[in-house]
Amino acid sequence: MRRTVRTLADGREITYFDDTPDAPAREAVDTRDLPESATASQVRRDPLTGEWVALAAHRQTRTYKPPAGLCPLCPSTPGKPTEVPEPAYDVVVFENRFPSFSQHATGEVRPGLVPVGPGIGKCEVMCFTDQHTTSFGELPPSRVRTVVDAWADRTEVLGALPGVEQVFPFENRGDEIGVTLSHPHGQIYGYPFVTPRTALMLAEAGRYLAERGRPVMGDVLELERSAGTRVLFESEHWTAFVPSAARWPVEVHVVPNRQVPDLPALSTAERDDFAELYLMVLGRLDGLYDRQLPYIAAWHQAPVRTGRDLAWLHLEVFSILRTADKLKYLAGSESGMAVWVNDVTPEDLAARLRAAPARYGR
C-alpha cells in the first residue's frame, strides 16, 4: 500500500491509500475557491451526568443529499471539482469540511458548574472506493484490507494530536440511519474526551477483572464459541456473533480472538483474516431482508491514554430495521432511561442470519 499526503484548497489535509499496483502519483491540485473551514465548535459538561456534549452549529450548513452527479466524495471530473482532486482513487481520507471537532477550534475555557471549552479534536471522512453506486460489502478482500490499514494509520495519527483522548472510526449506511451522502464512506472522530460508552465498558471490565482475574470479553468469547447458538462465523483470529444481550433488532459483534487494545495493534494475519470474515458478515446482513441493510458499524477501541490494559478491540454492527419494512424507533424507555427493549431474540436473529443467503456470493 502507498500512502500520499496532500492539501486541499482551504488547507485541509487529504491522504491517499493506494493498493492498485500501477496507481498514478497523487499530484492533482484542488482548484476550488473555498472559504476558510468553520471550526466554531464547543464542548460543555453536563453537571448531572458528567457527560460532555459537543455544540457545532456550523454543521447546519453541511451538504445534504446532493444528486449523484454532484457528489462531493466522487473523484473530480473536468468542470466538476470535488473534495477529492484526483480523477480516480482507491481509498482516501480527508478532514471534514464541517467538523464537530477541530485542531483549529478556539474559544474561552470556563470552569464552573457547567465547564465549557473549545471543541479540540479532529473529524475525518474516509471514502472506501471511488465507485459511487457500490457498498462496503461489495468490496474485494484486498480493498477491505487497505481500509483496515487506513483505519489503523488514522488511529495512530489522530491519537498523537494535541487534545485527542479517543479515536472512533465508524460507518453509517442508509437513508433510515440518516446518511446525507450515499457514496460508500465512513468517518473518524478524534474526541477531546473519553466517550460515555467507552468509560462504562472500561469500568465494567475493571470490575470484572478485579473480581475474577480474567478479561470479561475473553469469557464472553469462550461462552459464545462453546454455546454456538449465537455465533455466525468463526475463523483463526476472529469470531462474529449476536451478543446475548443485544439492544438492536439486528446486532453483530466482530471480535478478535486475542486481546488487543486498538486497530494498530492487529497483526498482519489478523488484518487479513478480518477482511475475509467481515465481508461474510456483511453479505449475510444484506441477505437477511434481500436488500441493503441500513446499519452503523462502530469500532470500540482503547482511549489514547487510559484503560489500554482493560480494552478489547471489537466492531459492533447494528441496524434499526426490525423487519423488512419496519423500523425500531427509540421509545421512552430507551431514549429517556437508556433501558433497552428488543423485539427480537438474539438466538432467533443468529439463526436467521446463518440461514440468510450471502447476497454478494460469499
- The top-level CATH class assigned to 197-355 is alpha beta
pLDDT digits 0-9 by tens, 197-222: 999 999 999 999 999 999 999 999 99
CA 341-342-346 angle, 5° bins: 140
Separation CA 232–CA 237 (nearest Å): 14
Query: Of the given ranges (54-68, 82-96, 200-214, 239-253), which has the lowest mean pLDDT?
Result: 54-68
Binding-site residues for Zn(2+) sit at 71, 74, 132, 183
Task: Band the pLDDT of 36: cuts 50, 70, 90.
Answer: confident
Task: Band the pLDDT of 2: cuts 50, 70, 90.
Answer: very high
**What CATH code would you report for 2-193?**
3.30.428.10
Q: Among candidates 14, 13, 16, which has minimal Cα distance to 4?
A: 16
Domain 2-193 identical in fold to domain 197-355: yes
> Is a pLDDT exceeding 90 seen at residue 321?
yes
Task: Round to the nearest angstrom and report the end-to-end CA distance of the chain.
Answer: 25
244 burial (CB, 10 Å; 0-12 / 13-18 / 19+) is: middle
Binding-site residues sit at 71, 74, 132, 183
Q: What is the pTM of this model?
A: 0.96
Which amino acids are annotated catalytic?
185
Separation CA 39–CA 201 (nearest Å): 31
Q: Assign 15 to helix, strand or coil.
A: strand
pLDDT digits 0-9 by tens, 79-111: 999 999 999 999 999 999 989 999 999 888 999
- Locate the domains of the chain by residue range: 2-193, 197-355
Separation CA 146–CA 3 (nearest Å): 11
